[in-house]
Chain A
Amino acid sequence: MNNRTLRGKVAVAGIGETTYYKRGGSQDPEFVLALKAILAACEDAGIDPRSIDGFSSFSNDRSDPSRLSAALGMHELKFANMQWGGGGGGGSAAVANAAAAIAGGLADCVVVFRALAQGQFARFGQGPKSSGVSGDPAYTIPYGVMSPAQMFAMRCTRHMHETGVTRDTYKAISLATYYHAQNNPRAVMHGRPLSPEKYDQARWIVEPYQLYDCCMENDGAAAMVLVSAERARDMQRTPAYLLGAAAGSEHRNAAPCHNAPLYATSSFTSLAPRLYEMAGVSAEDVDVLQSYENFTGGVVMSIIEHGFCSHEEANQFISYDNLVAPSGKLPLNTSGGNLAECYMHGLELIVEAVRQIRGESTNQVPGARVSMVTSGPMVTPVSNCIFGSEETL
C-alpha cells in the first residue's frame, strides 16, 4: 500500500470557541456549549452547519454526534468517532481520526469538538463517592490515590530522581504559560499574572506538584472544521494543513497498578518518531509548541521525548526565556493553555496551534510555519500532531 500518510491532505478551515468559564460559571448547559462552539467554527469557516457530515471527539464527550446532527438539521451523518481513553490524551487523535476519515473518503466535512462543563457534571479533581471499588481502582483508591494529580505524581517523582530535573524547570513552564495568558483576553487567568514568588509560595497539592503546576477545571467548548486541503484553499480562512499525527503509547504503558516498564515517561517515546516521520519535519523545524499540561512535570517529559532537548539539557533548555513568545527558542502554550487559558481538555491548545499558522495568536510567533501539539502526557493513549502553512507542503 503506497502513500500511507495524512501529510498535506486535510486542513483546518474553521475554529470556534465559547467563552471560557471557571467551573460552574457557564449558564449554558454543556450541550448548548457544544452547539455554540460548533456554530462559531462554521461561521469562521464560512460554511452552512448543515454541510457538516461527521464528528470526532475524545474522552467520552457527552454531546452525542447523532443528537448534534439532528439538532443542527444536518443533511446526513457519515462519521461519528470517539477516541478511546480518558483524559486529554485523545485531543490530537480526534484531529487525526477526522483527517483519516476525510482522506479515506468516509466523510467530507468533519468537526472535531470537545464540550465540558465540570460545574454541571463530576469534577475531574475529586475522588469517587462510591462505597466500594473494584478492578484497577481497588489497588490505588483505598490508599488515597484517586485524583489525576495523585495518579501521575509518582511518575514525575521518579523522572526527577532518574534525570535530575528540578522544580525550577516546572516553574519555568508555569510562568511562561501564565505570561502568555496575560496577553489573551479569552484566558480565564487573564489579568491574574503569576510571579516566581507566588508560584513558590503556593500550597502543595501533592508533591512534587504545587498549585500552579496543576491545570484548572473549567466550563466551555471548542470546535474545529476539517475539510480536504483542496477544498480549504478555496475557503475564506488561511488553511492550517495537517502534516502528521500519531496516537497510542509505548510497550505495556497501561500495565495495571503503575507497572508500565517505562514508568518515568509521558507515554510519547514511541509516538514522537512516528509523528516526525509522517510530517517530514524534525524537532528543529518546529516554530511553536502547544504541549498539554495536566501537570507541569508531564510537559517536561513531553518536551524531552519529542527531541527538543535531552534529559541532561532539560534544566537549562526549559527556561522561561526559551518558552515565551515571540523571542524564545521554543515558544510554549501561547494562549495560556490548560493552566491559564482554559482546561478545554487540550482542544484549546489545538485551536491555538491553528491560530499560529494563521498569524492570529495573541502571542504570535512571527512567521510560524510548523506548529505542533502534544496531547495528554502520562495517560494512554496519548496523541500528537503537526500543522503546517502552505509553504511547508
Chain B
Amino acid sequence: MSNNTFYLPEGLPSPMATRDGIDEPYWQGLRDNQLMVQRCNDCQQWQWGPEWICHACRSFDIAWSEIESKGVIYSWERVWHPVHPALQEHCPYIVVLVELPHANNIRMVGNLLGDAQQDINIGSPVTGVFEHHPNAKTPFTLLQWQTV
C-alpha cells in the first residue's frame, strides 16, 4: 500500500491496544469498519475514552456498542511545525476534535481529510472514514473525518 492512501505518512508511532485489554474492542472494531465505544449497561451513558468504571453511576458493567461514525467539529488545529521526523515534509495538516451528539456528546480526535489549507468551521458536520494500515507491523486502523 502506498503512502498516499494515508493522511499522515508512515513512520509515526502505531496505536496498540493497552496490555490490560481495556480498549481492544475499539481497535478491533476499527479494523472491522465499526466504531465501537463504551456504554454503561446500568445507566445507559456513553463514555469515551475507555475506562473500567462508568463515571456517571460507578457501575463496572460496561459494554461496547457500535455507533454511527458521524459528528460535528467541536474544535480544530492546523499544525505547521513538525515535531516528529516522519512529519518533516508533511506540514501543514489538520486535526479536528469531533463531538458525537448521538452518544452523549463524546469527543474524538482525528484528522480532517482534504486540503490542509481549507477553511474549518466549528459546528460543521463530518463523517468518519476508516483508514486501514494492514501492512503495519501490528496492523491498525485510524478513524479520520471528512466534511459532509
Q: Which residues of A contact B48 (CB under 8 A)?
A: 256-257, 259
A99 to B27, CA, bound (A): 46
Interface residues on A, range: 35 or more
Contact between chains at B109 and A204 (CB < 8 Å): no
Complex Cα spacing A146 to B48, Å? 19
> In the bound complex, what is the Cα–Cα distance between A342 and B143 (angstroms)?
39
Instruction: Identify the interface centre among A145, A147, A150: most chain B CB within 10 Å of its CB.
Output: A145
Known contacts being A134-B19, A139-B15, A139-B49, is A146 close to B76, with CB within 8 Å? no
The distance in angstroms between the C-alpha atoms of A263 and B98, with both chains bound, is 13
Any chain B CB within 8 A of the CB of A329? no
B107 contacts the other chain (Cβ, under 8 Å)?
Answer: yes
Cα-based distance from A146 to B83 in the complex (angstroms): 8
Q: How far is the CA of A216 from the CA of B52 in the complex (A)?
A: 38
A149 shortest CB reach to chain B, Å: 8
Among A125, A135, A136, A255, which residue has the most Cβ atoms of chain B within 10 A?
A135
List the A residue with the shortest CB-CB distance to B12: A142
Tell me which of A63-71, A152-160, A308-316 binds B: A152-160
* Distance to closest chain A CB from B119 (angstroms): 12
Q: Are B14 and A143 in contact, CB atoms less than 8 angstroms apart?
A: no
Within 8 A of A (CB), among B46-95: 48-51, 55, 74-81, 83-84, 87, 92-93, 95
Q: Is B129 an interface residue (CB 8 A)?
A: no
Whether a CB of chain B sits under 8 angstroms from the CB of A126 is yes
Within the complex, the shortest CB–CB distance from B112 to chain A, in Å, comes to: 10
Checking B16, B27, B55, B77 against A206 with a beta-carbon cut-off of 8 angstroms, the contacting residue is B77
- One of A140, A157, A203 near B76 (C-beta < 8 A): A157
Residues in B with CB closer than 8 Å to A125 are 83
| Neighbour of A258 across the interface among B79, B107, B137, CB < 8 A | B107
Do B76 and A144 touch (CB < 8 A)? no
A3 proximal to B (CB < 8 A): no
Is B18 at the interface (CB under 8 A from chain A)?
yes
Q: Which residues of B contact A (CB under 8 A)?
A: 8, 12-19, 23, 27, 48-51, 55, 74-81, 83-84, 87, 92-93, 95, 97, 106-111, 122, 137-138, 140, 142
Closest 9 CB pairs of A and B: A256-B49, A138-B15, A127-B84, A153-B77, A204-B80, A158-B75, A154-B75, A257-B49, A207-B78
